[in-house]
Amino acid sequence: MKATELGIDGAWLFEPPTFPDHRGSFTAPFQGPAFRAALGFDLHVAQTNQSVSHRGVIRGVHFADVPPGQAKYLWIAAGAVRDVVVDLRVGSATFGRHEVVELDAASPRAVYLAEGLGHAFQALADHTVVGYLCSASYDPAREHGITPLDPDLALPWSEDVEPVLSGKDAAAPTLRHARDTGMLPSREACDDRYEAMRTTR
């Protein structure tokens, strides 16, 4: 398993080997030892999620309050996505920046994003299935969003298809509004969370 840290601290790309044969193929998208070797701690999994999306659907930009936050490890079981990680940590050197990774089921790769980072993706094919490992259970009181169409973020969504959003995501605030109203996590709170994980796991 190859692990590569992306340009935003706390965002990683994992590339597991795939083993094809006459029956099809086999891949292990998440491998605990490889994760620990790259990040220095084990991924605590409190919940697994799976979403199925039509082509053009955008989910996100989602994040959770820190602490505890919600780290995510995700891969594509069917279809393809344009996956986006956004640094929402106020005080971070890369605040407001994003990283884009194309993910698909044909060449399985996985993305990990630490607590405090925002996540979104756009489905590039019908019946796109995304699997997630989450470090914390869903808590609606702690879950928030930034509109994925924020012109200041200028996220590179596909121009070949009309974006489809949930009502909640469409009504989410801009990054500037979220920052000005104190919605976003601080880099300091996130660093404290990361240090706690490394010393207790």
User: Using an 8 Å Cβ cutoff, are 134 and 128 in contact?
Assistant: no
- State which H helix or E strand residue 169 sits in: helix 167-170
Indicate which residues carry an active-site annotation.
62, 132
CA 125/CA 54 separation, integer angstroms: 7
Q: Tokens for 182, please give them.
A: 């104190």
**How far is residue 1 from each of residues 159, 198, 201, measured CA to CA in Å?**
33, 21, 21
Collapsed DSSP state (helix, strand, coil) of residue 123 = strand
**How far is residue 190 from each of residues 65, 89, 99, 137, 196, measured CA to CA in Å?**
10, 8, 19, 18, 10
Cis peptide upstream of residue 52 (ω within 30 degrees of 0): no
* ∠ Cα 102 66 44 (to 5°): 65
User: Using an 8 Å Cβ cutoff, are 116 and 71 in contact?
Assistant: no
